[in-house]
Amino acid sequence: MSDDPIELLKQLVSINSVNPDLVPGGAGEAAIGDFCSAWFAARGFEVHRVEEHPGRPSIVGIARGTGGGRSLMFNGHYDTVSIASYDGNALDPVIRDGRLYGRGSFDMKGGVAAMMVAAARAKAKGVRGDIIVTCVADEEYASFGTEEVAARFKADAAIVTEPSHLELTIAHRGFAWFDVTVHGRAAHGSRPELGIDAIAKAGKFLVALEDYDKRLRAKPTHALLKSGSVHASLISGGEEISSYPAECRISLERRTIPGETPQSVERELQAIIDGIAASDPDFRASIKAGLSRPPFEVAESEPVVVALNAAATQHLGRAPTLRGEPFWTDCAILQGAGIPCVMFGADGTGAHAATEWVSIESVEMLADILTAVAVEFCA
C-alpha cells in the first residue's frame, strides 16, 4: 500500500472493478473498496463504507482537521468499463515512454490515486479543516455512488479528479433520455385501408428530430459548452413482416446546457409532435421521460476555483486553461447537493477504448497540486 501515486495507481489498476450494471457479471467495486478502506485505515483516516447496493461500496476516508478551517472533498470513481475489449491484459499496469497503461488508468484511477496521496500528505502537514476523500462506485452507469455519498457527507467545496488534462473544468453538459412511442394501427399487410404504419409515421418524427438538432447547434448560447444536441439512439417496432406495425418506439438522448431542464426539453419534443400531427391527422405519439442528469457550471470566483487555479499556476508555471466538457460527471451531483465543485484531473487518453493510458508526470503533478490546494483551502 504505497504512498507514491504511481505505485498506488498500479495497485488500483490491477484490481478488477468492472461495473456490473454496464457488463453483466462484472466484478463490481467490493475488492477495490476493501483495498481503499485498508489504505485509509493504515494512515489514520476515519473510514466509512457506504453500501446501499450490496457489493457496490463507496469508501469515504476523512482526515479530521484540528478545527476552525474549511472542509474540502476529493471525489473520484473507481469503477471501470469492460476489460474484454481491451488490447492486452487490462489489469496488468505497464509503464512505457512516460505512460502507465491499463484499464481505468486514465478514467479515472489516476485521479483516484493522486487524490488519496494528496489527502495523506496534507493530513501529515496538519490542517484545520477536514479533508474528505470519496472513492465512489457506479459513475460509469448511474452514479448512485456519489448520490449516496452526497446525501451523507458535506463539505465547503469539492474537487472531482476526472481526467481533464490538468485543465480546470468549470462547466459540463447534462443529459435527458426520452422514449417517444409513435402509435399506428395493426392490420394485415393486405389491408392498407385498415392499417396505419407506425414505423413509417416514425420517419416523420426522425426527420423533425434531425432538424431540431441542427437548430440547436446552429445557435450556440454558452461560452464554453456552445449548445445542446439531440440524437436518436434506439428504435424498435413491428411484430411480423406481414402486418402493419401498431407501435414504433424511438429512444433518444438530449444533451443539455445550463438553463435547460428535462421539463423544457419535453415541451420542445411535444411541440415537434404537435407540429407533425397538425399536418397529418393519422400521426399520434406519446412521450415518456427517462433518466436525466443536470448540466454543471461553477463561477470562476468560487473560492475553490480560485485556490485550485493559484496552485495549478504555481506548479505548472502558467495559468491552467479553463474548459467546459461535453460529457457528464459527478460534479453536477455535488453541486446540486450544495457543495461548490470544480473538476481537475490528469492527462492521457483512451477512456473506454481498446488502449488506455495516463501520463505519469501528470498524475504526479496532480498529486502535488491537490496537496497544495488542500493545505491552503483547509488552513
Regarding beta strands 99-101 and 94-96, do their DSSP bridges make them parallel or antiparallel, or are they unpaired? antiparallel
Q: Strands, E, within the chain: which ranges?
A: 46-50, 58-63, 72-77, 94-96, 99-101, 131-136, 157-160, 168-172, 174-183, 187-188, 229-237, 243-244, 247-256, 284-293, 296-297, 322-325, 341-343, 348-349, 357-359
Contact present, 126 and 18 (Cβ < 8 Å): no
Would you say the pTM of this structure is higher than 0.75?
yes
Give whole-number Cα distances, 221 to 68, 153, 218, 226, 310, in Å: 41, 35, 10, 6, 29
* Distance (Å, whole) CA 375 – CA 379: 6
Tell me whether residue 139 is one of the annotated catalytic residues. yes
How far is residue 59's CA from residue 40's CA, in Å, rounded to a whole number?
9
Assess contact for 339 and 71: CB atoms under 8 A: no
Q: Choose the catalytic residue: 29, 79, 297, 368.
A: 79
Look at residue 2 in the predicted model and tell me its pLDDT.
82
What local confidence, expressed as pLDDT, does residue 95 receive?
A: 98
d(CA 1, CA 40): 10
Which has the closest alpha carbon to 372: 163, 160, 78, 115?
A: 115
- Residue 253 annotated as catalytic: no
- For residue 122, the model assigns a pLDDT of 97
User: Collapsing DSSP states into helix, strand and coil, what is residue 172?
Assistant: strand
Give the pLDDT score at 362: 98
One-letter amino acid of 43: R
Q: Which is the catalytic residue, given 107, 138, 139, 148? A: 139
CB-based burial label for 169 (10 Å; 0-12, 13-18, 19+): buried
| Per-residue pLDDT in tens (0 to 9) along the chain, 379 residues | 689 999 999 999 999 999 999 999 999 999 999 999 999 999 999 999 999 999 999 999 999 999 999 999 999 999 999 999 999 999 999 999 999 999 999 999 999 999 999 999 999 999 999 999 999 999 999 999 999 999 999 999 999 999 999 999 999 999 999 999 999 999 999 999 999 999 999 999 999 999 999 999 999 999 999 999 999 999 999 999 999 999 999 999 999 999 999 999 999 999 999 999 999 999 999 999 999 999 999 999 999 999 999 999 999 999 999 999 999 999 999 999 999 999 999 999 999 999 999 999 999 999 999 999 999 999 8
Check: CB of residue 61 under 8 Å from CB of residue 119.
yes
